[in-house]
Structure 1
Amino acid sequence: MYQYTPFDRQFVHARAAQFRDQLERNLAGTLGDDEFRALRLQNGWYIQRHAPMLRVAVPYGELNSAQLRAMADIARKHDRGYTHFTTRQNVQYNWIPLPQAADVMDKLAAVDMHGIQTSGNCIRNITSDALAGVAADEAIDPRPYCEIMRQWSTLHPEFAHLPRKFKIAVSGATEDRAATGWHDIGLVLRKNEAGEIGFQVRVGGGMGRTPIIGSVISEFVPWQQILVFIEAVVRVYNRYGRRDNAYKARIKILVKAEGQKFFDAVAVEFKNILERDLDGSAHLITQAEFDRVNACFVRPAGVVAQPEVAAAADLPLAYRRWLERNVHAHQVAGYRAVTLSVKRAGQAPGDVTDAQMDQAADLADVYSCGELRVTHDQNLLLPWVKAADLPALYEAAKAAGYATPNIGLLTDMIACPGGDFCALANARSIPVAAEITERFDDLDEVFDLGDIDLHISGCINSCGHHHSGHIGVLGVDKDGTEWYQLTLAGSDGSNHAPTAVTGKVIGPSFAASEVVDAIEAILDVYRAERTAGEKFIDAVKRLGLEPFKAAANARRTATARHSDTAEA
Structure 2
Amino acid sequence: MYHYDDYDRALVFERVAQFRDQVARRISGELSEEEFLPLRLQNGLYLQKHAYMLRVAIPYGTLSSTQLRTLARIAREHDRGYGHFTTRQNIQFNWIDLAEVPDILEQLAEVEMHAIQTSGNCVRNITTEAFAGVAADELLDPRPLAEILRQWSTINPEFLFLPRKFKIALCAAEQDRAAIQMHDIGLYLYRDEVGEMRLRVMVGGGLGRTPILGLQIREGLHWRHLLSYVEAILRVYNRHGRRDNKYKARIKILVKALGIEAFAREVEAEWQHLKDGPAELTEAEYQRVAASFDTPPYARLHHTYLEYGTRLAEAPEFARWAARNLQPHKVPGYAAVVLSTKPGPESPPGDVTAEQMEAVADWADAFGFGEIRIAHEQNLVLPDVRKADLHALWQKARAVGLATSNIGLLTDIIACPGGDYCSLANAKSIPIAQAIQARFEDIERLHDLGELSLNISGCMNACGHHHIGNIGILGVDKGGSEWYQITLGGAQGMASALGKVVGPSFSAEEVPDVIERIVETFVDYREGEERFVDTVQRIGLEPFKERVYAKAGEVA
TM-score band by shorter chain is over 0.9
Q: Distance in 1 between matches of 2:130 and 2:47?
A: 29
Q: CA deviation at 1:314?
A: 2.5
Judge conservation of contact 2:117–2:123 (CA < 8 Å) in 1.
yes
Segments of structure 2 that go 5 or more residues without pairing to the other structure are: none
Tell whether 2:280 aligns with 1:284: yes
Judge conservation of contact 2:336–2:384 (CA < 8 Å) in 1.
yes
Taking the TM superposition and a 5 Å limit, the aligned residue runs for 1:262-281 are 262-274=263-275, 277=277
Tell whether 2:86 aligns with 1:86: yes
Alignment deviations for residues 113-139 of structure 1 (CA, whole Å, 9 cap, x no partner): 110000000000000010000000000
Q: Distance in 2 between matches of 1:21 and 1:315?
A: 60
Instruction: Quote the residue 2:147 is aligned against.
Output: 147
Judge conservation of contact 2:343–2:403 (CA < 8 Å) in 1.
no
Percent sequence identity over aligned pairs: 55
Q: CA deviation at 1:549?
A: 1.3
Q: CA deviation at 1:305?
A: 3.2
Judge conservation of contact 1:363–1:397 (CA < 8 Å) in 2.
no
Judge conservation of contact 2:313–2:319 (CA < 8 Å) in 1.
no
1:258 alignment partner AA: L
Q: Please identify, of 29-38 and 131-140, the stretch whose mean Cα deviation from structure 2 is larger.
A: 29-38
Taking the TM superposition and a 5 Å limit, the aligned residue runs for 1:238-387 are 238-259=238-259, 260-274=261-275, 277=277, 282-300=278-296, 302-307=297-302, 309-310=305-306, 311-312=309-310, 314-345=313-344, 346-387=346-387
Q: Please identify, of 91-100 and 394-403, the stretch whose mean Cα deviation from structure 2 is larger.
A: 394-403
Taking the TM superposition and a 5 Å limit, the aligned residue runs for 1:115-514 are 115-259=115-259, 260-274=261-275, 277=277, 282-300=278-296, 302-307=297-302, 309-310=305-306, 311-312=309-310, 314-345=313-344, 346-493=346-493, 498-514=494-510
Alignment deviations for residues 235-266 of structure 1 (CA, whole Å, 9 cap, x no partner): 00000000000000000000000012211000
Judge conservation of contact 1:241–1:251 (CA < 8 Å) in 2.
yes
**Secondary structure, aligned partner of 2:363:** helix
Q: CA deviation at 1:334?
A: 0.9
Q: CA deviation at 1:515?
A: 1.2
Q: CA deviation at 1:556?
A: 4.9
Judge conservation of contact 2:48–2:422 (CA < 8 Å) in 1.
yes
**Secondary structure, aligned partner of 2:533:** helix
Q: Please identify, of 156-165 and 193-202, the stretch whose mean Cα deviation from structure 2 is larger.
A: 193-202
Tell whether 2:5 aligns with 1:5: yes
Judge conservation of contact 1:61–1:375 (CA < 8 Å) in 2.
yes
Runs of 4 or more consecutive aligned structure 1 residues displaced over 3 Å after TM superposition: 555-558
1:180 alignment partner AA: I
**Secondary structure, aligned partner of 1:522:** helix
Instruction: Quote the residue 1:565 is aligned against.
Output: none
1:441 alignment partner AA: E
Q: Please identify, of 549-558 and 463-472, the stretch whose mean Cα deviation from structure 2 is larger.
A: 549-558
2:289 alignment partner AA: V
Q: TM-score, normalised by structure 2?
A: 0.97
Alignment deviations for residues 334-377 of structure 1 (CA, whole Å, 9 cap, x no partner): 11100011112311100111111111111111112111001000
Q: CA deviation at 1:456?
A: 0.2
**Secondary structure, aligned partner of 2:472:** strand
**Secondary structure, aligned partner of 1:273:** coil
Q: Please identify, of 252-261 and 397-406, the stretch whose mean Cα deviation from structure 2 is larger.
A: 397-406
Judge conservation of contact 1:514–1:556 (CA < 8 Å) in 2.
no
Instruction: Quote the residue 1:518 is aligned against.
Output: 514
Q: Distance in 2 between matches of 1:194 and 1:139?
A: 14
**Secondary structure, aligned partner of 1:230:** helix
Q: Distance in 2 between matches of 1:387 and 1:256?
A: 48
Q: Distance in 2 between matches of 1:35 and 1:274?
A: 39
Q: TM-score, normalised by structure 1?
A: 0.95
2:472 alignment partner AA: G
Q: Distance in 2 between matches of 1:404 and 1:158?
A: 45
Q: Distance in 1 between matches of 2:360 and 2:367?
A: 10
**Secondary structure, aligned partner of 1:274:** coil
Alignment deviations for residues 499-524 of structure 1 (CA, whole Å, 9 cap, x no partner): 11110000111111111111100100
Instruction: Quote the residue 2:32 is aligned against.
Output: 32
Q: Please identify, of 302-311 and 223-232, the stretch whose mean Cα deviation from structure 2 is larger.
A: 302-311
**Secondary structure, aligned partner of 1:95:** strand
Q: CA deviation at 1:387?
A: 1.1
**Secondary structure, aligned partner of 2:509:** coil
Q: Distance in 2 between matches of 1:329 and 1:555?
A: 44
Q: Distance in 2 between matches of 1:115 and 1:510?
A: 37
Q: Distance in 2 between matches of 1:448 and 1:131?
A: 26
Q: Distance in 1 between matches of 2:350 and 2:63?
A: 16
Instruction: Quote the residue 1:528 is aligned against.
Output: 524
Alignment deviations for residues 189-224 of structure 1 (CA, whole Å, 9 cap, x no partner): 012233211110000000011100000000121000
Q: CA deviation at 1:557?
A: 5.0
Q: CA deviation at 1:304?
A: 3.0
1:29 alignment partner AA: G
Q: CA deviation at 1:315?
A: 2.7
Q: Distance in 1 between matches of 2:553 and 2:234?
A: 49
Q: CA deviation at 1:283?
A: 0.6
Judge conservation of contact 1:343–1:412 (CA < 8 Å) in 2.
yes
RMSD: 1.2
Alignment deviations for residues 509-564 of structure 1 (CA, whole Å, 9 cap, x no partner): 11111111111001001111111111111111111111011111124559xxxxxx
Alignment deviations for residues 456-476 of structure 1 (CA, whole Å, 9 cap, x no partner): 000000000000000000000
1:463 alignment partner AA: C
